[in-house]
Amino acid sequence: DGGITQSPKYLFRKEGQNVTLSCEQNLNHDAMYWYRQDPGQGLRLIYYSQIVNDFQKGDIAEGYSVSREKKESFPLTVTSAQKNPTAFYLCASSSAAGGLNEQFFGPGTRLTVL
């Protein structure tokens, strides 16, 4: 089955630690995205990538880093510089072709800083 997977589902981190969230897709999509969602709020874009080995900052990139070494994978690292990392993290992908290119989401990772 084609889709997007994220791991882990739940993640606990001590303050000062870096953690990496995994995102893999087998939809052959060029574009991949990372969003953060806080309780009662909308999705905010952290980083996105249109093609392998290229990515751009979104609205709230500070304290985060990404890589795009393979088309299928777009891991997100939450660094110790992110002051308020507790949130629901969602990865998405879409075809970069024109037209009605909707986004597909992974099941998300809930990160809690202890």
* Binding stretches for another protein (CB under 8 A): 31, 33, 35, 41-43, 45, 48, 50, 88, 90, 92, 94, 96, 98-108, 110
Shortest gap between Cβ of 88 and another protein (angstroms)? Answer: 8
Between residues 27 and 43, which has the closer beta carbon with respect to another protein? 43
Give whichever of 100 and 114 is closer to another protein, judged by the CB atom. 100
User: Residue 99: how many CA atoms within 13 Å on its side-chain side?
Assistant: 2
Q: How far is the CB of 103 from another protein (least distance, A)?
A: 6
